[in-house]
Structure 1
Amino acid sequence: MSQPDLFTAACHEDVITIRDLSFAYDHKPVIENLQFSVKQRDFVGLIGSNGAGKTTLLRMIVGLVKPTEGEIRLFGEPITTFRDWERIGYVPQKSSLNPLFPATVREVVVSGLYGKKNLFRRLTKTDLQKCDDALHAMSIEDLAEKRIGQLSGGQQQRVFLARALVNNPDLLILDEPTVGIDIETQQGFFHMIKHMHQHHHITFLMVSHDMDMIETYLGKEPVERSGKLKFYVKHSHEIEDCRETDLAHSLKDLRIKLQSHVTY
């Protein structure tokens, strides 16, 4: 049974379009003439040695760094005029926080629901449920009222993952998302994002050093190389989509394991 042509066409539209992209630090080239497109429902694994430009590329895609040359389009629109940032979830590389940072875990996760267009809106019951789902999905609901600066590095990373997931984004960009997280929680996380990729119309772009995960799910050979960067891609085009809409259901089978292997 084939899928409708309209859906098939939409499924292959560009989410990220990169043309002639270059970036240099102090006139030293990091990325040169990169050409690459990420389609709807792609899962792209980005691999490269230290200094290859992986994090720099992600930061350009989310608008934190301007390219030296070239063009980036998000959902068909030039990044210079793109405004629908709530469609994108982003988890940067793990970084330490000031232990005096005043926000609670719940407040950090909820902040993922706000964008420039709705910065001052009142939270709804649906918003609060999304927050609870994200906390549950990352097995951190018991930390909801703690200040994030009091948490371990692994706990903080799960908070930022929950924040990126809270809006059920169309595009999820992850920069080494499991650094500092114990093995069991890593397995649960990969289980969740693979399920979301296969059944929830989410596109993924992820930097990872976990070659076993990359090769097992995305294949042993990259589909594209540019300088020191390698792009591994798997496209999901499932006929039956998951009827569940919350984030937590995809971890139900691993819930007990996750709770018994929390890193503090």
Structure 2
Amino acid sequence: MREACHEDVITLRDLSFAYEHKNVLQHVNFSIKQRDFVGLIGSNGAGKTTLLRMIVGLLKPTQGEIHLFGEPISQFKQWERIGYVPQKNSLNPLFPATVREVVMSGLYGKKSLFRRIAKSELQKCEDALHAMSIEDLADKRIGQLSGGQQQRVFLARALINNPDLLILDEPTVGIDPETQEGFFHMIKHMHQHHHITFLMVSHDMDMIETYLGTEPIERSGKLKFYVKHSHDIEDCRETDLTHSLKDLRNKLQSTISYT
């Protein structure tokens, strides 16, 4: 049972969405507490991506309310507290930004777009590039990359700012199994030992059931919400969220060297 002392990070009240008079979501009520890890499962067309897009302000609900960190979404301004990785990034292949520039853009909002970049921020970028195994792609144009490589870039961009809330829509689609394993290892550690809340859409039922349990705690239409709350009291002193992935790689390399 979740502790009442943890604040609501996302609150959905009687949320509905219709597209061209077709109901996509109807009367969704759910709250996500601080340090929850929520797995959102549903069949194609169940409205999973639509729900995430409403939560990050890209779509407006037909009916109902969304609150983020206790504020109505219409008044919410601290978007830097949220990292978001959409399922598919519609990217112009001629877009001139490099991988490093795209990842760095996760550190600042529109108001600080042209400020000087501190050395500590450059290091955060290098750590995020390393975490997703794309450091060798840092100077390439984002449009030159494959779909899987682009997904790694946007994962790195979402992680770089140490968000309070990380929203992931099928984050490992198109990524090789080794990188998937490392990514899941990292986000589990982040959930257990850092003050981060997760909302993730995934079709990886093995991962969902292994970590979040076999039964959803809530159903709404075709949507199922699986939830695990972190009660760990020993938080990491590390501020670099990618350190767990570095530790995993060191262990794997040690194992290989002795076999």
TM over 0.5: yes
The counterpart of 1:102, out of the listed 96, 101, 122, is: 96
The counterpart of 1:37, out of the listed 31, 34, 42, is: 31
Give yes or no for the alignment of 1:179 onto 2:173. Answer: yes
Deviation at 1:234, TM superposition (A): 0.2
Give distance in 2, aligned partners of 1:254 and 1:223: 31
Give distance in 2, aligned partners of 1:163 and 1:20: 32
1:93-139 superposed Cα distances (whole Å, 9 cap, x missing partner): 12353322211000000001111342332211121111111111111
The counterpart of 1:66, out of the listed 48, 56, 60, is: 60
Q: Is the 8 A contact 1:137 1:247 kept in 2?
A: no
Letter in 1 for 2:123: Q
The counterpart of 2:157, out of the listed 150, 157, 163, is: 163
Corresponding residue for 1:24? 18
1:62-103 superposed Cα distances (whole Å, 9 cap, x missing partner): 000000000000000000010000000000012353322211
The counterpart of 1:199, out of the listed 178, 193, 204, is: 193
State how 1:78-117 maps to structure 2 within 5 Å: 78-95=72-89, 97-117=91-111
Would you identify which runs of 4 or more consecutive aligned residues in structure 1 move more than 3 Å?
A: 8-11
Distance 1:232 1:9, change over 3 A: closer
TM-score under structure 1 length normalisation: 0.91
Unaligned stretches of 5+ in structure 2? 254-259
Give the superposed CA RMSD: 1.7
Give distance in 2, aligned partners of 1:128 and 1:49: 40
State how 1:139-154 maps to structure 2 within 5 Å: 139-154=133-148
Corresponding residue for 2:128? 134
The counterpart of 2:6, out of the listed 12, 17, 28, is: 12
Give distance in 1, aligned partners of 2:120 and 2:70: 29
Q: Is the 8 A contact 1:11 1:41 kept in 2?
A: no
Give distance in 1, aligned partners of 2:179 and 2:100: 20
Unaligned stretches of 5+ in structure 1? 1-7, 259-264
1:18-50 superposed Cα distances (whole Å, 9 cap, x missing partner): 101000011111111110000000000000001
Letter in 2 for 1:255: R
Letter in 1 for 2:220: S
Q: Is the 8 A contact 1:176 1:208 kept in 2?
A: yes
